[in-house]
Amino acid sequence: MNIMVTNDDGIHSNGIRALAEAMKELGTVTVIAPDRERSAAGHSLTLHSPLRIFELHKGWYAVDGTPTDCVNMGIHNMLPIIPDLVVSGINHGANLGDDITYSGTVAAAMEANLMGIPAIAFSLATFEKSKYFTDAAKIATQVARQVISNGLPSDTFLNVNIPNCSIDRMQPPLITRQGKRSFIGKIVDKTDPRGRKYFWVGNEEPHLNDEPGTDFHAINRQHVSITPLHLDLTNHKSLPILAEWAF
């Protein structure tokens, strides 16, 4: 197997080191990741400036772009053959519910999926300092092995969230759907020492809708959450309703 590893926390993060090391059990690993943190980059491409590649050491490359840039550069320019699998992460922080639309970690897997390559996004469900990236990487290896053995359904990639605990305390993996949360955003405006206004995008603590079957519900009970995703954002239930409108 030829496996490409990427992320949105940057090539120097603890999560990508743990993931790359674990993936060596399954094949040849090449790491192509942003040269710095690109969290919440979403599915964005760099179109208005050139991209540069820096080889840190054999098999490890930093790109001064987004996670989506890294997947594009890797597959179209840098790798000698198309990878058999693309894995993204391990993100420092959960990617649950509506957050997947912001996530560069998930977007990297999505980009690989658009190119017809099996892909998985992995996240560790904590934003605090954690000692469990190695445990999470063991789960990632188990999931990746299943994807390699069975293949993924057409037009599908996986979003995997892993509890922040040792592997022996984790509950069995659950296949989940994307949950929802009540999000209250806010803009903090302040003044710098030179008297100029600046703004900081933030949010209040979200309320998670803890419904059975969702990724939130699984993680809250220390289950590994495995959510199948695809890019079709069409609201199919609304099609017959809109078809009756007098456009």
Q: The CATH number of the domain where 41 resides is what?
A: 3.40.1210.10
Mean pLDDT over the full length of the chain: 92
What is the tally of helices (H) and strands (E) in the chain? 6, 13
β-partners of residue 182 are 207
- The answer on pLDDT for 41 being more than 90 is no
Share of the chain above pLDDT 70, in %: 96
Per the structure, the complete domain to which residue 227 belongs is given by: 2-243
- The answer on pLDDT for 213 being more than 90 is yes
What is the tally of structural domains in the chain?
1
- The answer on pLDDT for 202 being more than 80 is no
Q: What value does the mean pLDDT take over residues 126-130?
A: 93
pLDDT tens readout for residues 56-115: 999 999 999 999 999 999 999 899 999 999 999 999 999 999 889 999 999 999 999 999
168-to-90, 142, 144, 163 alpha-carbon distances in Å:
19, 14, 19, 11
For residue 185, give the 3-state DSSP assignment.
strand
What are the strands of the beta sheet with 157-162, ordered from one edge? Answer: 53-57, 60-63, 28-34, 2-6, 85-92, 119-124, 157-162, 223-229, 171-175
